[in-house]
Structure 1
């Protein structure tokens, strides 16, 4: 597609797609033309549903900027870096009992658990209840063969399971993201200084939990499968852990957990002599752009020494992923702790399974054998 049809049109589902790095690098920051206000997922754009306020990933400036500034106040570098000892402690607790076993599922052990625990730490949700919330968020993203996500009850954008925590946290404030969101004062789009409503906090928390849980969990699965395919480079990382941060960037490039980003086209726009009409849905296929040989030499090869100065995987422009630093932290700590205990492993490829969702791509099961 990238070579033969750089502007692709799908007649059955009525959407356009671009897959070259230059087109996505130009298009993603241009929110005036490629709008997020109808959603950032193809089904949501096509469904033409009303999105609740506070869904900042599905908003455009100026309202987007107001809501993003609020979240940026709680996603500070200080708060993210303060999580590192707790993330490492979780990895230790999870991986130590597996030392000496000859086989385990990396996704079940770490990928499905760690992001949920970290989001729980941020939000102040008790550990005992985190799994149920994760499963509820995951279920809203699941699809069947040839099917689409279920948008009828709005759970993807507003998970009422978080509601009881919001009500409880209002009476029991703590040093966590939920308490800060409940108390943060801001000037809204009407010039009124106020705090967020309960529904707005609910939407924020649902978006943060959903966005951070699925994607980071898939990253950990890709760490397991990619390093199994490149044992020489894995050994380099064991010998020199300072190479790990760049290895995380390269895995994000090669196997991005979020392979595509959808936008609503607000005016006629031209690609390769063809017009994408106003009102269309357009898919930016980031995973294809990440392997564009116009941008990267030998793009299908994993290379932990590759110089990466522009990462499309977290987006570009006003919608650049707010949780990018947190995802990088989790990926780095997970890789460090896995390699420390398990310098060599193979994947039981016959028993792997890819997760099926409209938004993320990665392993649902990744059984590894320790050698």
Structure 2
């Protein structure tokens, strides 16, 4: 058997990381990569515990491995890269956009966006789950929520896609002094100040909150700009990748797809299983802040970068029965794709809503398809795992 090696930037491993994850869980559940100087954990209980441990495992140096290793200057307002109590304050402000009430209110609009994407394709012999749906629906939805004009949405989507790209086999290059500026959103904010509407920018311009110093104030322009950049980037890139996996995995499981066609009540569970089986965000990083931490009797020293392998935890046979089987009837819940604890993905309700609507509308129009795997294109990014193209041949 070959020597065990794991590297999130290794193109060959990334094509199918699950055999490597299995070996890591069995042989080296706490793993150290000397070449890139990071630690990794792969078993469900360890990843679950680490995600909840904001006291010792910090997000303040980033949640992407390259960012943690580079230790750039992170501006205030990147709430996913903050620790409590500042994170708690900022997250509560952004969470206003993703309440159950807000999700119910936008469901019909999201469905209308989805219909507009799919209806022109009816009668064609093929369509692309990523280019025709994944690249469009999440951006239209975030654009509506945030108040980003239609004409500007392609540029926002392209930027969200570009910032996460890395050269094949190599970590992303991080600008230590200009990480996450969000500057492209400044003009939208200035325009919305003069033209208020029913959207997130208008709401955030008006909100008053008590910050960590006890001061009641409004958001600074920089904080607001960064908030929008975080929401738009996360909402567009990760959710968009879900649609590529939807096309591929359901084509590989036609019997389960047929069940979904006849019983739409199974769709929410199918989306949860898809998120478990092929998570668009396969891992998340932390910085071991003050004290050493111990997993599986191995000590990870303070000052280390730690990679939490969500996709491995989602396939841990210690937690899930038959984890390598895709099963739309699996009891929902338990996967770690959206994280845990204080940093649980604030946009999870929106991702679930978009996935559920998209699958429902696709099955209504295209109950059967095969994937043209020769025409599929992998997305070359180490942080979000998925496809740039997933062409379906309709039948």
TM-score (norm 1): 0.98
**Equivalent residue number for residue 352 of structure 1:** 376
Q: Distance in 2 between matches of 1:223 and 1:293?
A: 23
Match of 1:341 among 346, 359, 365: 365
How far has the Cα of 1:271 moved from its partner? 2.0
Judge conservation of contact 2:117–2:136 (CA < 8 Å) in 1: no
Deviation at 1:230, TM superposition (A): 0.1
Partner of residue 310 from structure 2, selected from 286, 308, 312: 286
Distance change (3 Å), C-alpha of 1:230 and 1:156: farther
8 Å contact kept, 2:38–2:307: yes
Distance 2:286 2:201 in 1: 29
Give the corresponding residue for 2:390: 366
1:213 equivalent in alignment to 2:266: no
CA shift for structure 1 position 290: 0.3
Partner in structure 1 of residue 70 of structure 2: 47
- Structure 1 residues 307-346: aligned runs within 5 Å: 307-346=331-370
Partner residue of 1:122?
145
Q: How does 1:192-341 map to 2 (within 5 A)?
A: 192-266=215-289, 267-341=291-365
Distance in 2 between residues matched to 1:227 and 1:154, nearest whole Å: 43
> CA contact under 8 A between 1:140 and 1:150: conserved in structure 2?
no
Contact 1:107/1:365 (CA < 8 Å) preserved in 2? yes
1:28 is paired with a residue whose SS is helix
In the alignment, the residues of structure 2 paired with residue 369 and residue 45 of structure 1 have an alpha-carbon distance, to the nearest angstrom, of 41
User: Where does structure 2 lack aligned partners over 5 or more consecutive residues?
Assistant: 1-23
* Separation (CA, whole Å) in 1 of partners of 2:286 and 2:167: 23
Q: Figure out how many residues of one structure are paired with residues of the other and give that number.
A: 371
Cα distance per residue 1:125-164 (max 9 Å; x no partner) = 1112111111012111111112222322877622221110
Cα separation, 2, equivalents of 1:243 and 1:198: 44
Please report the RMSD computed on the Cα atoms of aligned residues, expressed in angstroms: 1.2
Q: Is residue 2:195 matched to residue 1:172?
A: yes
TM-score (norm 2): 0.92
What is the rounded CA distance, in whole Å, between the counterparts of 1:366 and 1:291 in structure 2? 24
Aligned residue for 1:270, secondary structure, equals: strand
Q: Distance in 2 between matches of 1:49 and 1:234?
A: 45
Task: After TM superposition, give the deviation of residue 121 of structure 1 in Å.
Answer: 0.3
User: Aligned equivalents of 1:291 and 1:307: distance in 2?
Assistant: 14
Local SS of the residue matching 2:286: strand
Structure 1 residue 274 displacement after superposition? 1.9
Contact in 1 for aligned 2:279/2:337 (Cα 8 Å): yes
Q: Deviations over 1:1-38 (max 9, x none)?
A: 11111011000100000000011111110111111111
The superposition leaves residues 88-116 of structure 1 with CA deviations (integer Å, 9 ceiling, x where unpaired) of: 11111111111111112221000011111
1:33 and 2:78 are equivalent in the alignment = no
The answer to whether the aligner puts 1:86 opposite 2:109 as a matched pair is: yes
Asked whether the 8 Å contact 1:141–1:156 carries over to 2, the reply is no
Q: CA deviation at 1:311?
A: 2.6
